[in-house]
Amino acid sequence: MDAAGLAAWFCAACATCSGASATNRGHVVTILSRSHGDRNVYPSAGVLFVHVLEREYFKGEFPPYPKAGDASNDPITFNTNLKGYPDRPGWLRYIQRSSHSDGVLYGSPTAEHVGKPTVIEITAYNRRTFETARHNLVINIMSTEEFPLPYQAEFYIKNMNVEEMLASEVLGDFLGAVKNVWQPERLNAINITSALDRGGRVPLPINDMKEGVYVMVGADVQFSSCLREVETPQNQLRCSQEMEPLISCDKKFRAQFHIDWCKISLVDITKVVPVYRERLVPGTGVLPDVGEYNPPSEMLRSRDYFTDFLVTLAVPSAVALVLFTILGYSMCCRREGVEKRNMQTPDIQLVHHSSIQKSTKELRGMSKNREISWPLSTLPVFHPVSGEVVPPLHPDNYETTSMPLMQTQTNLQNQVQIPQQQPSGDNYCMSTFRRLEVNGIPEERKVAEALNL
């Protein structure tokens, strides 16, 4: 089957889904009410099934748009579910990109659904008038001798979305390219899955980026040498390094489809070991009869819990008391004492620690109260000129908080003049000193030299 034949087959399937009957061509489905008859479709097991929910089909159910020629602007959305259940069957998916686009039902039924009609309720919502229209879609799954095809290949197409790939002409072009590469006698599209359903990330809305789609196809012949090139060690190494592998037949797809060859999957189901699961036989849902219910006698003796209470409370208390006794004995009765410690400590170390302790107490006292007297260690011991012992200049009631940080000329204390002896025959001169304070510490400095009168 070539590409043209596949496209024709797909269009015929869509025409079948639209409700046209092959045996009765004169019968035309006309929408006359809000609830119309069932529509029957006949997909094959193991083959991709696509049914388009066209907005034009439901427009006659809703009032016309106020403006002439704008009827196509009505926003219409669809809700699909299995009749009697809130959701669709597991093999059937639905997608509608926006309220102004058609909806698409697609999926691949399996052999276990053959012969079981599946009724899908389709409800159309008009977002302008808030009215609804409903009809049923009856899916009759047919068996096929070609299912399952033994060789299946899954391709990941990066530049396509699901609704774009579901179009008959696009899918026909892809199957035609695969047929040229694979050269099978029978080739079918088995399933289509969005990359978002496989854990993919939503693409950024820039540069027309696509979400990607997985397309699985099946054939009746072995995989071609071109498809086997992905399994070579060179291409496997390039894939592990996130580089594009070198595939000779990629140019036959590149014009329209960008395939990620590192994600291709080739499966030969004839070599896959089947896993059989035993099905549980459903029961009747009725419990077996075990006789009448016999409640306990009213003459039961009450149980005494006093012993249990004592055991529960006494054992942890006894353990805690023993541990407390051991800890108290270790901390209080086994201490060596301060005197023994001092006797074993060298005197120089005790003096050193004592001086540190005194200095620490002095610094703590200074930090608590700034109104105390200045420590003797910060005062000059003798006069810098005369050599006389200088008494403390800061009494206990000295106000240090009002002392400026920088002394100006007006803040200086009274000048002190000390006579200085000159060489014999000359008159005596007076040397002038000014009493200054730097950082709160008084200091006498000489400010004038002897003057020649």
For residue 280, is it left (φ>0), alpha (ψ between -120 and 50) or beta? Answer: beta
pLDDT string in tens for the chain (453-residue length): 444 444 444 444 443 333 333 333 332 222 233 445 578 898 988 889 999 998 888 877 777 766 665 555 788 899 999 998 999 998 999 999 888 888 999 999 888 888 888 899 999 998 888 888 888 999 999 887 767 788 999 999 998 999 899 988 999 999 999 999 998 888 889 999 999 988 888 887 777 788 899 999 999 889 998 899 988 999 999 999 989 899 888 888 988 899 999 999 998 888 875 656 666 777 777 777 778 878 878 777 788 888 888 889 988 999 999 999 999 988 887 777 777 777 878 888 878 888 898 999 888 888 776 655 555 555 555 555 666 655 555 444 444 444 444 444 444 444 444 444 445 544 444 444 444 444 444 444 443 443 444
pLDDT in tens, 157-207: 998 999 899 988 999 999 999 999 998 888 889 999 999 988 888 887 777
CATH no. of 3-139: 2.60.40.10
**CB 151, CB 220: distance < 8 Å:** yes
Q: What is the pTM of this model?
A: 0.52
Closest CA to 58 of 35, 86, 80: 35
Cα separation, 197 vs 91, in Å, equals: 13
Give the tens place of pLDDT for each residue, 102-119: 899 999 988 888 888 889
Q: Using an 8 Å Cβ cutoff, are 161 and 257 in contact? A: no
Decide if 272 contacts 152 (C-beta within 8 A).
no
Give the C-alpha separation, 220 to 161, whole Å: 28
Q: How buried is residue 264: exposed, middle or buried, by Cβ count under 10 Å (0-12/13-18/19+)?
A: middle
**Stretch(es) of the chain classified as CATH 2.60.40.10:** 3-139
